[in-house]
A and B are shown apart, each in its own frame.
Chain A
Amino acid sequence: MARLAAMLVKEFTQMRRDRLTFGMMLGIPLMQLVLFGFVINADPKHLATGVVLADRGPQARTVLHAICNSGYFDFVRLLENEAEAEAVLLGGEVQFVVNIPANFSRDLLRGERPALLVEADATDPAATGNALNTLRVLAEKALEHDLKGPLAALGGSDGPIELRIHPRYNPEAITQYNIIPGLMGVILTMTMILITGLAITRERERGTMENLLSMPTRPLEVLIGKIIPYILIGYIQVAVILAAGYYLFGVPIAGSVSLLLIAAFVFIVANLAMGITFSTIARNQLQAMQMAFFVFLPSILLSGFMFPFRGMPVWAQYLGEILPLTHFLRLVRGIMLKGIGVTEVMQGLWPIGLFGVVALAIAAKRFRRTLD
């Protein structure tokens, strides 16, 4: 009994001393509670929608109102034409484009069943599924009030309008098309942060850091020397996932592979820099690992990898925007599924680059040549 007490007292004392581990034990469950409780939403609503409005008749307005009132669609952009619709869909600015063709109201009243065209960015089938199902119901019911009396006949058995849904980029709603490119980002995040996170703390733990610093090296030389080997490792991972995705799972590569490799470079460096920053703050390898976990969890949950990004509350989306993975997921899915080009890639790439530069600056500042 006395020996057990001795062990218990010792364990609690050590637990109290190791603040970071203690913080992790409280922090991780709290973080999970917040993320799973408040943020994650498998039924995303208020999805950004663009409208091409070629007919401004009352029935067109009724249909739009009904779509808006469903709660799934937020009209954020009024688009001039089909070309602009294509651009905002490609750039990921909107999830849907609702297209009310010219003469919609007239054709409706004539009983010609005008088409209501809805284009959906279906790269993530989970994000669009419920919204599209709702739309099918809406198309039938929206005009019930307008079409009364003599017009009731227009409803017919097929409904008054023809709903044409174009699920773009992943028309068959194959989950792997969305998951595999996303996995590339997740795997890189996990391995790159961890591997460099341990790199500097290992030198410090083994006492080799003191020796290294007594030699005529500059901090940047040490940091870059630590990063470059792992960039190669990162590229091997990219190659493996890309090959497996293409040959094994049949994920299309619509865009340019070299563009993807450039984006991957920036992303790998940003993650390595984050890992190095952690290792300049952590006192030992265990702490570096714990810090890495604090990034993994939000990265996986807030980036749009597992759950639709647009389904999250706005504050969570802002948090997600800080994470490099969020931007990389858009890029890698954009390049592989949508075939986005240089312009769209640059728009998503600079936040990752900025993140990397800031992380590297912090690392270089903290990793001073002197030990004090």
Chain B
Amino acid sequence: MSVTAAIDVRGMTKRFGRLTAVDHIDLEVQAGEICGFLGPNGSGKTTFIRMLCGLLRADAGSGTCLGYDVIRESEQIKRRVGYMTQRFSFYEDLSIEENLDFVARMYAIPDRRNAVAASLERLGLAGRRSQLAGTLSGGWKQRLALAACMIHEPKLLLLDEPTAGVDPKARRDFWEEIHQLAAAGLTCLIATHYMDEAERCHRLAYIGYGKLLTQGTVSEVVAQANLTTWEVTGPRLMDLAQRLRSVPGVRQAVPFGNALHVSGDDAALLDRNTQPFRVAPYTWQSAESSLEDVFIHLMDPLSDNARA
């Protein structure tokens, strides 16, 4: 076990009735790392994050979070973790300042007044401090939420789809801030659906149906998938895609704009079986597998697993 690991958990499991939402997930995130947490809707990302910060009791699993036992010392963990929920969860009928003040009191911050003032200043909302949080736009709500879960200077940020419904400019600013915080030593675990955001992370962990499917840096994840991808252009690509999908060796045929991405994990088989399709009017070009190709591929065999 590394001494610098901010999150180091093994076998984390949570069941809701007969459904196993999180199934023996091991995760290690180093201090100062930004770890992207990916997976389709309902794959267990939120449940896993809630277990980390003590909102849910794990049915099985062990390990540490910021050096504290993830099962027994959730009170200690709560004090040192900033958790930003998927949905805006501050008080819409309180002003920006009142929300920050409430959070600061909750964490018993010694110099509360200054902490709130500094937070408002950083937010750039000092002038609108008495505006009700409910009247803020989506992007500002998200900034307020980030500021509020940073006010007690946590060592670890758990962000659950923080940029859902936020415009591109605000998203870019948000990531800028996350990278600055990480550079200062803060560890971040960010659940997201956006591929461009995934590529901004130091490391990725991908879960599906409650299981950890792959983890590593972006290039490691792509390499591990061992995927060969062809980019096809031409007319009526959807018809071609339909026919290709039944060809052995083709794991996916997905439209990307005006092109079709055809990939498979057995390069030789893919090459051989797609020969008949490489005729005019189509042009085939070898392409780099993108992160998205990899993720769609990861989901595919799993849907079979899930049915089995």
Residues of chain A having any CB pair with chain B under 8 Å: 206-211, 213-217, 369-372
Contacts and interface: CB of A to CB of B under 8 A. Distances in A.
A211 B50 CA distance: 11
Given A210-B55, A370-B57, A371-B56, 5 more contacts: A206-B89, A214-B55, A216-B78, A217-B106, A370-B56
B69 to A, nearest CB: 16
B90 interface: yes
A207 B88 contact: yes
Given A207-B85, A207-B87, A208-B89, A213 B55 contact: yes
Contact of A371 (B55, B75, B87, B89): B55
17 contacts: A207-B85, A207-B88, A210-B55, A210-B89, A211-B83, A213-B55, A215-B103, A216-B75, A216-B78, A216-B79, A369-B54, A369-B55, A370-B54, A370-B56, A371-B56, A372-B14, A372-B56
Interface in B71-103: 75, 78-79, 81, 83, 85, 87-92, 103
B106 A215 contact: yes
B85 A211 contact: yes
Interface string B145-176: 00000000000000000000000000000000
Interface string B27-54: 0000000000000000000000010011
A369 B83 CA distance: 15
Nearest to A372: B56
B91 A208 contact: yes
Contacts of A216: 75, 78-79, 106-107
Label chain B's interface by main secondary structure: loop
Contact of B53 (A207, A214, A372): A214
B171 to A, nearest CB: 21
A214 B83 contact: yes
A213 B14 CA distance: 18
B96 to A, nearest CB: 15
Contacts of A214: 53-55, 78, 81, 83, 85
Scoring A206, A208, A215, A370 by chain B CB atoms within 10 A of each residue's CB, the highest score goes to: A215
B106 to A, nearest CB: 4
Most chain B CB within 10 A, of A210, A214, A215, is at: A214
A209 B106 CA distance: 14
Contact of A370 (B55, B75, B103, B107): B55
Contacts of B106: 215-217
A206 B92 contact: yes
Q: How large is the interface on B (under 10, 10 to 19, 20 to 34, 35 or more residues)?
A: 20 to 34
Nearest to B80: A216
Nearest to A211: B89
A370 B54 CA distance: 7
Contact of B50 (A208, A209, A371): A371
A251 B47 CA distance: 59
A102 B254 CA distance: 108
A371 B89 CA distance: 15
B89 A215 contact: no
Contacts of B89: 206-211
Contacts of A217: 106
A211 B56 contact: no
A210 B56 CA distance: 11
Contacts of B88: 207
Contact of A215 (B14, B56, B87, B107): B107
B49 to A, nearest CB: 10
Interface string B50-67: 100111110000000000
B180 to A, nearest CB: 23
A207 B88 CA distance: 7
Nearest to A209: B89
B85 to A, nearest CB: 5
Nearest to B81: A214
Nearest to B75: A216
Interface in B112-137: none
B80 to A, nearest CB: 10
Contacts of A208: 89-91
A194 B136 CA distance: 30
Contacts of B16: 372
A210 B88 CA distance: 10
For A211, A215, A369, A372, which residue has the most chain B Cβ atoms within 10 angstroms?
Answer: A211
Contacts of A215: 78, 103, 106-107
